Amino acid sequence: MQRQAAPNIQATIPDKPYQIGKITVVPTSPVIGAEIRGVDISQDLSAETAFAITQVWHTHLVLLFRGQDLTPEQHIAFSAYFGTPQSPNRTSFTPMTEKYPEIIEVMNVDMDQKRIEYSLSNAEAFWHTDMSYKSIPPLGSALYSREVPPSGGNTCVSNMYLAYEDMPEAFLEEIMDKSAVHDASRNSAGRLRPGFEDEQDPSKTPGPHHPLVRIHPETGRKALFLGRRPYSYIPGLSVEDSEDLLDRLWAHATQDKYAWCHQWDVGDLLLWDNRCAMHRRDPFDIKHRRVMHRTQIAGNRPY
């Protein structure tokens, strides 16, 4: 297999602030993420500004907008610049508003301000890609903070372009043309979803098959596409061989050198590209409230 050498990270991702039109781009790390300044996303964006933000998104994979004051309508309208906001199927693990079905409420309190133990609650959310247990996962997510705890609950993101491009040739040969089953039965905290059996055999995991390496339809670049680690399975391998390969693959993909972590303030919005970035969340003290609103943008079938 012929493959171009992995590009130098500094050569592919700007590491110093720069200007595009009226917006200022401030990289949050040398490997992933950028803060966008000079734009109020509660307002209508010009075609020029929306195009510029999209181009920066394709470069940095995750965008941070600080100090925003968004209504649900404005949150949905901003998401629509990047595609069609989705209304996910309702389950007890994805509580959402009746009036705004495109808004998923990620929180540890219910509408009556009672603590809730279902869904993620205050638990750690392990490395994952949103909704990859669907046959057509969303292309991106926009997470907006309404209430945050004084500590914990940070969101970390990781660059799957770089994880792919940094793989040794022999390792890459092991995974090319292979797919994995993305577990539909459990959420990113490992909790069983309603209606599913507690199946312990990974070879019987329910969920769609997605390629381990996918091509980004906008950039043409290849990225690892792993979903969630527990109960994943590579068809065609024994369970033992599948577990071994997945363990090594996840150990490679989740190295700190590909990641950046964001500590939330109220009014922050993170926009990430699910096609080439994974994310995780730190746990936090259940005594404190954490209320986030998330939209997700319709995508295409991974290939």
16 alpha-carbon distance from chain centroid? 24
Looking at per-residue pLDDT, the higher value among 105 and 82 belongs to 82
184: amino acid identity, one letter? A
pLDDT tens, position by position, 149-159: 888 789 999 99
Decide yes or no: CATH 3.30.70.141 for domain 17-303. no
pLDDT band (50, 70, 90) for residue 3: very low
pLDDT band (50, 70, 90) for residue 1: very low
- Residues 197-225: what's their mean pLDDT? 91
- Of the ranges 165-169, 204-208, 210-214, which one carries the lowest mean pLDDT score? 204-208
Residue-by-residue DSSP string for 237-284: S-HHHHHHHHHHHHHHHT-GGGEEEE---TT-EEEEETTTEEEEE---
- Of the ranges 63-72, 93-102, 167-176, which one carries the lowest mean pLDDT score? 93-102
In this prediction, residue 142 carries a pLDDT of: 98
Cβ atoms of residues 141 and 277 within 8 Å:
no
Read off the DSSP letter of residue 10.
H
Q: Which helix (H) or strand (E) holds 167?
A: none
**pTM greater than 0.95:** no
In this prediction, residue 282 carries a pLDDT of: 84
In this prediction, residue 288 carries a pLDDT of: 81
| Residue 302 main-chain phi, psi, to 5 deg | -60, 140
- Residues 215-220: what's their mean pLDDT? 97
- Of the ranges 21-30, 84-93, 117-126, which one carries the lowest mean pLDDT score? 117-126
- Of the ranges 118-122, 139-143, 148-152, 239-243, which one carries the lowest mean pLDDT score? 118-122
Residue-by-residue DSSP string for 113-165: S-B--SSSTTS-EEEE-TTTTSSS--SEEEEEEEE--SS---EEEEEHHHHHH
Q: What percent of the chain has pLDDT over 90?
A: 67
Report the alpha-carbon distance of residue 23 to residue 131 in Å, rounded. 31
Looking at per-residue pLDDT, the higher value among 215 and 197 belongs to 215
Report the alpha-carbon distance of residue 28 to residue 261 in Å, rounded. 9
- Does 205 score more than 90 pLDDT? no
pLDDT band (50, 70, 90) for residue 189: low
